[in-house]
Structure 1
């Protein structure tokens, strides 16, 4: 079945049996593959992604890091192309080819000129569905992934986020690092990786998204041909996998309240936060407004209180993360070790004040305006549009127009934000610290009281 496509640069008119949202067209292909395109007038490029509804939370303990490991391995060669040939074909047209792994999905993507779309489709499909996973490549990339883990360990901010998740989601796959651990990567066998790839990278879990100068019917033809063999392996009559609804409630906030990784750093790095809403919660837009007002910009309350008024830190911000069945709201700050106690006191004071009194009217207006402007400006390029298509289909099973998202933000009231703030910011907090401390007893008392 093929959906509506609004004509644009390089776009054709409506297809038979049309359905869609705005300029977005959708077709359901054999094997349960979902294809979404958005024709964008005035551009000469196309961003294309093959999204798989599998991430690190889907790994068994012995597979920890497999999805990310595969992200490296699939580019090492296929039945038709060597690793060098893959790179050379994309470089020859000035394109970009890459991938990323997250906790709930993986994406392999390309960005090319419109004339090179057939090449991008062919290369991406080849990489995702016909990789060799040669034993020599498994060993070669094992060393690369271990180097990446070492690089992560040398970046206090990256390491801090993983420590925080491990504490907040203790005992749950969401608490494990996407990249895996040194132990899990050293123990990973080629058979384990091959089993994960063939067992999980099935076409009912795939969403193909493309945005730019394109014609939907051409993309349907290209993708259908390139993924035909993979669709046949999954059964051409397969239905797409439904959006992840989440399993049993994630036991967030039940782990250690305070974790420390001693490191010889110039700064103390702090992350402090609480469990938050999942992405299907209708209050998530109020959470977005709350997060923006707390630490989402230069006028945010945390930035003003911690940096501008007291000069306690250079970097301070908040972040809201939503998964299918849980989320988190956290604050990051990096400061001189001797000022950590004061930073924690100020941050907790800000959170307590917002929990008690909500936002001011001026903060509410600024936060909503910032979100609306950021949403529109963030969708000005083909890659952003492609990402929006893929994520919306995997996460919600439907496309939300920009106008719909803007209207939902505009509809958030001060009472909505106050209710979310009271619920989330009144629960016990979890904190993670990376810095020059040998043990928790060396941390400021205001932090130790969390333990």
Structure 2
């Protein structure tokens, strides 16, 4: 495979060899269902995912003719495990437990995925059960109320974790009113207000043949997978011969953002202050994403990174310190995290900013570039030993990027990143409006000076 492979929505069949001689195949069925598989030589297990490009950002307030759907995506993720006309919740659980398999789901900001990992011989069973869950869940009223309590407990658990609280506030601060700034799981208020009718409407509107993407990686035969999937979906009542067109991918144009609060402080009587400092980042399709990967590796990923060395090793100000750069279809973030003593919080905020500013001004060394390339290449290769990672890579390629990159292509793009690319990107990030979030035993007065200094730098 040379270069990335485009995944046009209108192309019915596609097949190619990827790095390591894995065989990638993609079929767009007449109904609009998209199926991607990666057959990995020597694998004895497979991971399968049923995806829809619907996440927390797609939920709507009350509008003409429809109820509010805030929190519905996460609610629905829970409910699809609670039973269908042919299977109870226990039946679903037993199906996987009886063969030593794993099954779960995740709700993200731009997609939802229901997945399972099984031995190769049990893949037909996984296809059948996941297809039944996906198409035919009852959303029973009694189970709905039971699961409401479960989700409220899940949110309460996250609310007790100061790092989780800081993360949610950080997205809201950087992205403002953009839908990506909302919590993925909803809030206690939206979950209490959710109705079965609203979640049912959300289900029927977004879980259709044209929305479904099925990805499988590991020990998989593509033709057998297609037959099993078509049989399972037909048994569920879907008309697989009825023409359909896959839903369009999201726009890749960066959205206009209006920042939320410049400084957010959540007072908690805990030993550390959880700090997040950051700016809007890059969208997923930005051609500078390889440079962002390199920048993040050098700046805040791993024990040799600049943040770790300066904040922890040299100054002893934090135990945990790192940077991160999530990217979505039309927005992204670049953030820096540190957990520190309350009396050190102001110093750490200024230090995080100054380290990024130093990177923008002085750039990186050839040694750092080489180390970043080795780190990214090694981490990617190790991750691909797991069929879960390969399955997820297929899903992201189909739903978000519209292209597939194998390991060789990813490393080729990383190798093209220059020191000038990294410095220019750092300078761009430094120029963007900063947001500061703190959760812990501190207050706005203690941090306002540091926040103002960071903000002044971004404006200068």
TM-score for the superposition, normalised by structure 1: 0.93
Report deviation, 1:295. 0.3
Q: Identify the match of residue 445 of structure 2 among 436, 441, 446.
A: 441
Contact residue 31 and residue 231 of structure 1 kept, 8 A: no
The aligned residue for residue 143 of structure 1 is 149
The aligned residue for residue 315 of structure 1 is 320
The 3-state SS of whatever aligns with 1:443 is: helix
Alignment partner of 1:128 is 2:124: no
Contact residue 441 and residue 448 of structure 1 kept, 8 A: no
Contact residue 160 and residue 269 of structure 1 kept, 8 A: yes
Tell me the distance in 2 between the aligned counterparts of 1:66 and 1:18: 35
Q: In the TM superposition, what are the counterparts of 1:170-209 in structure 2 within 5 Å?
A: 170-209=176-215
The aligned residue for residue 30 of structure 1 is 30
The aligned residue for residue 430 of structure 2 is 425
- What value does the CA root-mean-square deviation take over the aligned residues? 1.8
The 3-state SS of whatever aligns with 1:317 is: strand
The aligned residue for residue 50 of structure 1 is 50
The aligned residue for residue 398 of structure 2 is 393
The aligned residue for residue 274 of structure 2 is 269
Tell me the distance in 2 between the aligned counterparts of 1:373 and 1:18: 29
Contact residue 149 and residue 181 of structure 1 kept, 8 A: yes
Contact residue 32 and residue 236 of structure 1 kept, 8 A: no
Report deviation, 1:248. 7.0
Number of residue pairs the alignment of both structures matches: 434
The aligned residue for residue 372 of structure 2 is 367
Report Cα offsets for 1:339-377 as digits up to 9, x if no partner: 112212221110110111221222121112111111111
Segment of structure 1 superposing worse, 267-276 or 367-376: 367-376
Alignment partner of 1:341 is 2:346: yes
Tell me the distance in 2 between the aligned counterparts of 1:383 and 1:350: 35
Q: In the TM superposition, what are the counterparts of 1:93-242 in structure 2 within 5 Å?
A: 93-228=99-234, 232=238, 236-242=242-248
The 3-state SS of whatever aligns with 1:321 is: coil
Report deviation, 1:211. 0.9
Contact residue 56 and residue 65 of structure 1 kept, 8 A: yes
Segment of structure 1 superposing worse, 151-160 or 58-67: 58-67
Segment of structure 1 superposing worse, 232-241 or 382-391: 232-241
Tell me the distance in 1 between the aligned counterparts of 2:235 and 2:197: 22
Contact residue 131 and residue 233 of structure 2 kept, 8 A: yes
Tell me the distance in 2 between the aligned counterparts of 1:130 and 1:99: 16
The 3-state SS of whatever aligns with 1:68 is: helix
Segment of structure 1 superposing worse, 219-228 or 47-56: 219-228
Report deviation, 1:215. 1.1
The aligned residue for residue 16 of structure 2 is 20
Report deviation, 1:398. 2.6
Report deviation, 1:242. 2.8
Contact residue 210 and residue 245 of structure 2 kept, 8 A: yes
Distance 1:168 1:229, change over 3 A: farther
Q: Identify the match of residue 83 of structure 1 among 86, 89, 96.
A: 89
Tell me the distance in 2 between the aligned counterparts of 1:237 and 1:231: 15
TM-score for the superposition, normalised by structure 2: 0.91
Which consecutive aligned stretches of 4+ in structure 1 deviate over 4 angstroms post-superposition? 448-451
Contact residue 204 and residue 234 of structure 1 kept, 8 A: no
Distance 1:229 1:194, change over 3 A: farther
Tell me the distance in 2 between the aligned counterparts of 1:360 and 1:270: 28
The 3-state SS of whatever aligns with 2:315 is: coil
The aligned residue for residue 8 of structure 1 is none
Tell me the distance in 2 between the aligned counterparts of 1:234 and 1:175: 37
Report deviation, 1:449. 4.8
Segment of structure 1 superposing worse, 48-57 or 228-237: 228-237
